[in-house]
Every structure is written in C-alpha cells, then in structure tokens.
Amino acid sequence: MPDNTEAMIAYFSTQPPAQVVQGLRALKQDATDILAWADQMLGAGAEAHAIALLQDGLGELSKHPDRIAADTNLMGAWVRLFRLLSKNGRNQEAIQAYFMAESLGNGDPMDKLVLATDLHAVGRYREALKIVDGLLATKPRFDPEMMSPEHAFALAIEVKTDCLRHI
C-alpha cells in the first residue's frame, strides 16, 4: 500500500469502497481519521468511497461517542453524508442522515428542500408537503452556489404540487 496521502487516494480510488474501509481499519485508523479520509475521497471525486467511509466513521462514533475528538465536525459529516446519499438516489438512507444532522443543529433551508424531495421520492408526501409549506411561508435565503433561489422556489412549488396530487 502506498505511503503518502496522494498515492493512497489514487490507490483507494481503484479499490471497491468496502475494501478501502477494511484497509483503513487494518491500518488502525480511528473513526475520526476515517471521516477525514472520506473528505479526501470526496475531493478526488470518489463519491461511493466517501459514502462508505462516512457511514463507517459515523456509525462507529454513534456507537462510541467517547471516541469523538474535540475538533470533529459531526454535523458537517452527517450533512455531507445526507447530500451524497440524496444525490445518489439513496433516499431512505439520506432521510436518516438528515435527521442526524438536524439533531446536531443543521437547519440549512437547501437541505430541508432536498429532504422534502427525498421524502417525496419514498412516498412520504405529507411530511414533504409540511417541509415545503414551511419553506414557502418563511421564504428563506438559499445559497446561490448550491442552487439559484429561483430554481429552489420552483422546485419547492413542484414538490408541493405533486404531493397534493398524491394526498
């Protein structure tokens, strides 16, 4: 196995995600290190690897909260996992990750809109509608780097309209 970060990322990118998790565990990487590797893999465009590493690291830290380092951004890790799972159509898992991030203080309106689309995708129309109605009533400021505010509001209206058809 290569011994520098750049070479390891290149090597890991050629391996199945589960094997990367096992390899890092064999190197005695702790859960917070696994989260850092997830960020590295995400930066390299290896989303499946990042998902596997985030799930492993966050799962371990959920079981053993005493292992959370003071500088670990748990909410940020849960948000990254939520966004990746949602982007990859893994809606049920994304919903669970969102609620973990929310329990740690995440209230980003774009994440709420994405949650509504995930809930809609799995047939949880009433919950999706409640979120969309809340967003439309409060008219939050959406980060234009993630999605234009106009597109975000159009998506919210689209989700609301379709939810109403299904209820």
Using a pLDDT cut of 90, give the percent of the chain over it: 89
Give the mean pLDDT of 132-161. Answer: 94
**Is the residue at 63 inside a domain?**
yes
Task: Based on the fold, state whether residues 35 and 65 are members of the same structural domain.
Answer: yes
Task: Based on the fold, state whether residues 8 and 48 are members of the same structural domain.
Answer: yes
Task: Based on the fold, state whether residues 98 and 163 are members of the same structural domain.
Answer: yes
Mean pLDDT of the chain: 95
**Is the residue at 81 inside a domain?**
no
Whether residue 102 is predicted with pLDDT greater than 90 in this model: the reply is: yes
Check residue 1 and give its pLDDT.
58
- Token pair for 109: 């309106």
**Is the residue at 85 inside a domain?**
no
Whether residue 134 is predicted with pLDDT greater than 70 in this model: the reply is: yes
Number of structural domains, the chain?
Answer: 2
Give the mean pLDDT of 55-63. Answer: 97
**Is the residue at 82 inside a domain?**
no
Give the mean pLDDT of 142-153. Answer: 91
Check residue 5 and give its pLDDT.
85
Whether residue 3 is predicted with pLDDT greater than 80 in this model: the reply is: no
Whether residue 29 is predicted with pLDDT greater than 80 in this model: the reply is: yes
Whether residue 17 is predicted with pLDDT greater than 80 in this model: the reply is: yes
